[in-house]
Chain A
């Protein structure tokens, strides 16, 4: 459980020579009663880890697609508590690691200690908080550590070398390399320097490095995994899931399997 199951899942994929694929879905988009089947669908399609978004009223790191998904979830009454309760309900029948992506305020209101406790009880293995930089990480890191839940940090194109070094040192599970200066959303192409940037990050750390933000096609997946260990795909998965397009989800996730060639 916890960060060990993330490490194990990633190692298993990398040992096979494949790259990791982390799909992001918004918890409760389409109804919380769909969560179990959505996770199963993604796991069966070959996902390595599931990143599960907690809806928030003011998601400043997100573009229109995830904003809309969050709004749909909030409208149907989804809360952090309900998501944790639902995850707990089918904890035993799940064998894919779960990482929560949540803004800090729902966690702050819930209480960081209680949050970490309930994450453990619900089988949550890692947490990403996009609006908590290094400077504020004490607010949650101690509680998460106590329950052996991975606190996954983000490195960005703007991170200075000394910040990058700290982020690489502190991240657990994997390092989330943000591919653009921007918010989540489907992106056509990435900046010319991205390859160098990812290579640079890889040189800083032995931990797995996954690229995310804007990744939306099998071509992107292949392009990026040439430089790193895996990808995180948000808006595109949210869109496809909303449309019920299981076939394309399958193709997208499978594109990480042959990426190393």
Chain B
């Protein structure tokens, strides 16, 4: 049976994972692993985390039955896990908060992070304000352009935002610069990585902090429906909202799990971010996993309308769940995501993030083959306010203003 009790002592999930970092970082990575193992056993740490999750983040988040959406699709009952209702508007804060508490526990006072859509950057800047930690955020130049509002939010929260010009100026390049910064400041700085990527123990730590999504969902669906769902759907950039949602369901063999990657302009165009659909195994940012790369091992640029999914790698545990066929991974194009965003806005009055819209779009497809006896849970990882400008730019014509 496949469970999420992985990884092994070396940080591998099957053939994937590991710790491919420069020696300068290894002691910090080992220190983090030890600090995390201790924190996990410490009731006081769990209590503090719980306290902030309830009183500050606003957990638990609802599992909302989207009746009008379900009706409009004419198939299964669709439930939405409302991570968009978290403080700062996405699931990212579950992890940022946990890691910021770990930072304090390790006696460090400085934090570095990368961000794509800006949601992880905002979440990190937020918890750093809350816990009085210095905060530096690296963000690709292109992403700064398409997520201006989040840049200003981070600055209001007291963070320093550094623009990254290298490469395509997106998430991958921001991770590179955050890693370089961490190497140069490793003695007093913790790197709050934003997804289930990077060297062990990051994929495990981030998954565990995001697991609250799946744990709540499992209880809520049983309360509301009296049974487990038939399918669970989540979008996958690095894969943290998906991993957190899937974790408690992996061992429930009757529950179908679907990870949705960004198909960009379409897989056939080569302009996409669908790592498992269109990639191959390789090593990037400290972990062995599926990557978008050429035949010489040079990493390729990812393409997606959604800055948060615009990453040429994926968490190693997803590569493992893909290789073991436990989770079905597929992709949704920019256009399909935009359509889903509009449908959810109009039928439910919920404007989803472009990232989450990929999960909604896939749920719409899935609905075609399911009947009203079925239930599907989609992870609504974030709200779409940050994307309004980008969506307007794409939809253009038909709208006023």
Contacts and interface: CB of A to CB of B under 8 A. Distances in A.
B283 A108 contact: yes
Interface stretch (A31-39, A41-49, A156-164, A195-203): A156-164
A106 B296 contact: yes
Contacts of B28: 158
Nearest to A109: B297
Given A105-B293, A159-B27, A154 B22 contact: yes
A158 B24 contact: yes
A131 interface: yes
B180 interface: yes
A183 interface: yes
Interface residues of B, number: 38
A229 to B, nearest CB: 19
Contacts of B167: 57-58
Contacts of A80: 296-297
A252 B286 CA distance: 35
Contacts of A153: 23
A151 interface: no
Q: Which of B23, B24, B291, B297 has the most CB of A within 10 A?
A: B23
A181 B10 contact: no
B19 A133 contact: yes
A56, A58, A182 interface centre (most CB from chain B within 10 Å)? A58
B370 interface: no
B183 A61 contact: yes
B281 to A, nearest CB: 8
A79 to B, nearest CB: 4
A80 B22 CA distance: 21
Given A57-B299, A163-B26, A181 B20 contact: no
A178 B24 CA distance: 9
Interface in B256-308: 281-286, 288, 291, 293, 295-300
A154 B183 CA distance: 14
A97 to B, nearest CB: 23
Contacts of B166: 67
B107 to A, nearest CB: 16
A84 B264 CA distance: 36
A135 B19 contact: yes
Listed residue (A59, A80, A132, A135) with the most chain B CB atoms within 10 angstroms of its CB: A135
A250 to B, nearest CB: 31
Contacts of B21: 131, 133
A14 interface: no
Given A60-B176, A105-B293, A109-B293, A131 B298 contact: no
Interface string B54-74: 000000000000000000000
A160 B23 CA distance: 10
Contacts of B25: 158
B296 A58 contact: no
Contact of B27 (A110, A131, A136, A163): A163
A183 B299 CA distance: 20
Contacts of A194: none
A81 B296 contact: yes
B183 A58 contact: no
B275 to A, nearest CB: 14
Interface residues of A, number: 41
B23 A159 contact: yes
A79 B180 CA distance: 24
Interface in A52-79: 56-61, 63, 67, 74, 79
A158 B284 CA distance: 22
Contacts of B176: 58-60
B284 A156 contact: no
Contacts of A61: 22, 180, 183
A167 interface: yes
Nearest to A71: B166
B172 interface: yes
B193 interface: no
A79 B295 CA distance: 10
A136 B25 CA distance: 14
Interface string B65-101: 0000000000000000000000000000000000000
Given A61-B180, A158-B23, A158-B186, 17 more contacts: A56-B298, A58-B172, A61-B22, A80-B297, A104-B283, A108-B283, A108-B297, A109-B282, A109-B293, A109-B295, A110-B296, A131-B283, A133-B19, A133-B21, A158-B24, A158-B27, A181-B24
25 contacts: A58-B167, A58-B299, A61-B180, A67-B166, A81-B296, A105-B283, A105-B299, A108-B281, A108-B282, A108-B297, A130-B22, A131-B21, A131-B286, A132-B20, A134-B23, A134-B26, A135-B26, A136-B18, A153-B23, A156-B22, A163-B26, A180-B184, A181-B186, A182-B183, A183-B183
